[in-house]
Structure 1
Amino acid sequence: MVFTLVCIGWCVAAQALPTAQAEDSLEQLGRSTQWVRQLYLETNDGRPSRPRITDRGFYLSDGPLIDPVAELRATYRAFFESSASMGDAHPICEYPSRYLFLTSALNRPRDVDVLADCPAFRNWSQWEGDPRVVVVMVDGYYGNPASSFGHLIVRLGSQDTNKRLLDTSINYGARIPEGEGPLTYIAKGLTGGYQASFTREDFYRQDLVYTRTEHRDMWNYELNLNPEQKRQFVAHLWELLGHPTTYYFVKNNCAFAVAETLEFVLDRDIVDQDTGWYPPVALFQTLEDLHRQPDNEIIASREFVPSQKRKLDAIIASLSDDEADRVQSFIDDPDQDLERRLADRSPEEAAVILEALIEYYDYLIEGYPERGTQLYDQRRRLLVARLGYPPGRALTVEPVPPGTPTGQTAKTRRLEIAAGSQGEQGAALLGFTPFQTAPTDLGNPDLSELTLLGTRVSVADRVSLDDLTLIRVSQRSDVRQAIPGQWPISWTLDVGADCLTHCGVSEGVRLRAGIGHSLSLDSSLVSVLVYGHQAGRRFSLDAVLEAGWAERSGWSLVTEVGYRQAIGPVGGSTGLASLVGRYSVSTSNSMVTSIHFEDSQFEGRIGWVWHLR
């Protein structure tokens, strides 16, 4: 890199050349991209810039703007001209990442062991070992608006697989006051009303919340960093701990913060600074893109971590009919005599039934703690009964991931160009959606969708805004994988507007909410839902049969047939039918065709879709 050559030259100049030349080289280093990234400045051009970290205690130089050259000089003086003894209060211990960067860039003899004299940093960083650096994608969670797009955390931990729950977890999140209402929460999150920072947590606590309480799957991406990069990454996170930045749900979020840290460590662009949107999945897609480049295997491994619910689903699905009946029998009557109920089963079969029941009560206890001590008593009774049967794990079911790794899914921005018709009139259609997640496998039992701010414009004799989707959320859950005592619900919420140009806001506003059940059949998913549909001043009830089918070659098909009954003085009923076909050429491109009938009205289109980061 150019800046490295400059730095090496400066080191020699500092010792043998006139001061003016050394100062010139120092200034070039201070304006290098990697040093500016180290400082979290808003611009990368090396000029004085507003700091993104709002705590001025993070910087050693003075002034409303941060001059990266002045900050470099102040850092150098603090490190190499300080008379303070080593310890947690020494600048090197406060800024170990800067120390590692400068000693490398200036070609100074580096004493890495000097960081061993920083007790707090050494204990926190597992400095004397070889930590795994893992970036974790946590599935979306509709119970928290900020987590609807998913969440991202960093794990630092042991190479020993038996100790991974003891890993250190680095979380980046907004500092939200207690009692903040959801509307205030969303408004402030979108407008920069919160501060956020990196914090350290024990990973087992986050595993408890995400996989066992909120039932969210996770993907672990272990990074293939060399020892030098690992040290730099860990040290940089240490420097950033607790120092706040302005938080935005859609951009300066958990993924953006971690991506910027990786930009510094890898010395390469990862974040597109010009886009106004950076969902967590975007970082994983970038890692996959980098990994495909020659001699750049940034991903060491990918690991799916199923939620407690997914584990239990897999266990229930693996049981024989008789085993499932006995599990259900105990759930219905937990006071029955276990020994007598299992007397006609072999010891191995009895162990399977008991372990399935123990997993069920673990699921209830961790996901529904408000249900009290009765669950603990029943679980304890099952554990005692299990001790009477052969030792060793009887259940060895491993849940299957619900699709491809998170970084290999389709990009989240969607641009569509199509030709369409409404009745006898043809039109060109242009659609853009800044965020849309939906699995490419429409037969997946976990079929879900999240779409935000989608728009579609038609161009015929005039330009018209035909569709605006503020938010559309769909969740489909297979009743065949139902946990005993539960009946999974499938649902959809769609808020937006139709034909705004022609109808106006009062008539075009759309609110549609539906609820029902779904059943998976091989590569298809069939759902029956009942919708309430508000269109302008008109309200109706819809009964809809929906079927989705997909195959691995890239073809997919979704069809709906239904009946709409208008409610109110006008009344009336109509039939509904639609067909949407798609051929996915890749995760970035697909061809889409659709047909829609409502009463005697017909709409159709065929077009091409680009999925953009």
Structure 2
Amino acid sequence: MPYYDKVQSYGDIENRDIWEYDLNFTHAQTRMIMMHAWELDEVDFDYYFFDENCSYQLLSLLEAARPSLHLTDRFFYHAIPSDTVRVTVVSPGILGDINFRPSLRTRINWRADGMSDDELALALAITQAGFKKRAAELATYDPQAQARILDTAYDLRQYRYNRAGGDRAAHALVSLDLLRLRSQLAAGETVPSHHATGAAPHESHASARADFGIGSLDDTAFAELRIRPAYHDLLDPPTGFTEGAEINMFALALRGYESGSVQLESLEFVDILSLSPRSRLFKPLSWGVNVALRREWISPVERPLTFALSGAGGLSYALGDTALTYALAQADVLVTDELSGKITVGAGPAAGTTDPSEQVHISP
């Protein structure tokens, strides 16, 4: 697949923001990368997210062209993509310019931030019915506002068509009409200038984390050690990560009590939370899933280790620039030999407010 097709697929169809890191390699070294990639065309790799993932294999490609780098030597038991990017950034002489390609959805949201409710409502109306029925209303705005409205209407049409499909010929005809009208306006870029870029992946925090704490349970003191090999939660610094996203894998918690006993407190196999804020243009659902072994109170005196499975879905809304509030409906399944039926199922609400920039997360 040509590079420009892959960029379009990622940015305009899958709506992924793209960061491009230019290599500071000679022509001969670049050619070596291409030749080695060609050699690997028929080679199979066992894909494991924690170690032998795509980003790790890219480090091997760089080493093929410049063996002195030894990039893969810096990873032992796991290689998270953001960590591999960070290694190339801090290694001298590997990278040149760093470029940001915002996705179609990101560009729409950026432009909408600078539009009034009336402008946005007109853009939505034009998206659905075309501009001819709203030409008189559009003409009441100055050229720059008209450009914002038309650009937003055009991009929204592309976004919806990419997601839902439809009549290709009809879509192309309306889109071409919008472009013709937009070309007649003496207005430049309509995305606000302060949205020139975002936070790059290499600026994010390291994926592994270890915590230590002390507490008391039933008047018995304990010390707790938590180890998280990957990846990111809502209390981590948000720089370089998707807003409202939490992905943790194999997070381990051990407790040592003053009696000398050590217990497994929890082992989270996977913990995913996607709090996608709803806006005037987009209405995504928020959701979460958790699969873990953890201790749960099943009676006033019993707290055994259980297998726990949770799923949730609901809505999230932005509060200012960095905070989110959410309300979810959640279902839980607990399995343990300590229960008479060995399994219990429950459901209920889950709500909270989080502000990653202040490392605050409040939930009942």
TM bucket normalised to smaller: 0.7 to 0.9
1:259 aligns with 2:59: yes
Query: Is the CA contact 1:525–1:547 (under 8 Å) kept in the aligned structure 2?
Result: yes
Distance across 2 between alignment mates of 1:443 and 1:527: 22
Residue of structure 1 equivalent to 2:213:
418
1:217, 1:443 → 2: CA distance? Answer: 11
Contact 1:223-1:299 within 8 A present in 2 as well: yes
1:447 to 229, 244, 248: 244
2:125 counterpart of 1:319: no
Distance in 2 separating the partners of 1:261 and 1:343: 55
> Displacement of 1:523 after TM fit?
3.5
Hey, what's the Cα distance between the residues in 1 that align with 2:348 and 2:230? 27
Task: Show the counterpart of 1:193.
Answer: none
Shift of 1:220: 1.0
**Secondary structure of the structure 1 residue equivalent to 2:363:** strand
Q: Are the equivalent residues in 1 in contact too, given 2:144–2:187 (CA < 8 A)? A: no
May I ask how many residue pairs the two structures share in their alignment?
Answer: 346
Give, in whole Å, the separation in 2 of the partners of 1:419 and 1:378: 63
> Which residue does the alignment assign to 1:223?
23
1:366 partner letter: N
Match of 1:304 among 90, 100, 106: 100
Which whole-Å CA distance do the structure 2 matches of 1:268 and 1:522 have between them?
40
* Alpha-carbon distance, 1:236 to partner: 3.3
Partner residue in 2 for 1:592: none
Larger relative contact order, structure 1 or 2 (CA cutoff 8 Å, min sep 6): 2
Aligned partner of 1:212 in structure 2 is 12
Instruction: Give SS of 2:69's match.
Output: coil
Specify every segment of 5 or more residues in structure 1 that has no aligned partner in the other structure, as ranges.
1-200, 291-295, 562-613
Distance in 2 separating the partners of 1:524 and 1:407: 23
Q: Deviations over 1:259-309 (max 9, x none)?
A: 11222333132114772322322221111332xxxxx24321222211111
Q: 1:380 aligns with which of 176, 184, 187?
A: 176
Residue 280 of structure 1, aligned match among 56, 72, 81: 81
Measured in 2, the distance between the counterparts of 1:214 and 1:459 equals: 46
Post-superposition offset of 1:203: 0.6
Give the corresponding residue for 1:560. Answer: 363
Query: Following TM superposition, by how much is the alpha carbon of 1:443 offset from its aligned partner in structure 2, in angstroms?
Result: 12
Larger radius of gyration: 1
Root-mean-square deviation over aligned CA pairs: 3.0
Letter in 2 for 1:302: I
- In structure 2, relative to structure 1, the CA distance for the partners of 1:426 and 1:400 (3 Å cut) is farther
User: In the TM superposition, what whole-angstrom CA distance separates every residue of 1:140-196 from its partner, at most 9, and x where no partner exists?
Assistant: xxxxxxxxxxxxxxxxxxxxxxxxxxxxxxxxxxxxxxxxxxxxxxxxxxxxxxxxx
SS at 1:339 equivalent? helix
Q: Which residue of 2 aligns with 1:248?
A: 47
TM-score, reference length from structure 1: 0.51
Give the Cα separation in 2 of the matches to 1:528 and 1:444.
Answer: 22
- Which of the residues 77, 87, 90 maps onto 1:289? 90
Deviation at residue 204 of structure 1 after TM alignment: 1.3
**1:559 counterpart letter in structure 2:** I
Per-residue Cα deviation, 1:288-331 (whole angstroms, up to 9, x for no partner):
332xxxxx243212222111111111112221233112113334
Distance change (3 Å), C-alpha of 1:444 and 1:255: closer
Aligned counterparts of 1:286 and 1:227: Cα–Cα separation in 2: 23
Partner of 2:338: none
> 1:540 and 2:346 equivalent?
yes
Per-residue deviation at 1:374?
4.1
Gaps of 5+ in 2: 297-301, 336-342
Q: TM-score, with normalisation over the residues of structure 2?
A: 0.83
In 2, the alpha carbon distance for the partners of 1:274 and 1:287 equals 13
Partner of residue 456, structure 1: 253
Q: Distance in 2 between matches of 1:423 and 1:400?
A: 54
Q: Pick one of 500, 503, 511 that aligns with 2:310.
A: 511
- Determine helix, strand or coil for the equivalent of 2:41: coil
1:223 Cα deviation from its structure 2 partner: 2.1
| 1:407 match | 202
Change (3 A) 1:445 1:558: same
Check whether the contact 2:310–2:330 (CA below 8 A) recurs between aligned residues: no
* Structure 1 residues 249 and 370: alpha-carbon distance in aligned structure 2, compared to 1, 3 A threshold: farther
- What percentage of aligned pairs have identical amino acids? 17
Q: Deviations over 1:446-476 (max 9, x none)?
A: 2201111222111113221111211111112
Aligned to 1:528: 327
State the secondary structure of the residue aligned to 2:266: strand
Match of 2:188 among 366, 373, 393: 393
Matched residue, 2:265: 466
Query: What residue is the counterpart of 1:492 in the other structure?
Result: 288
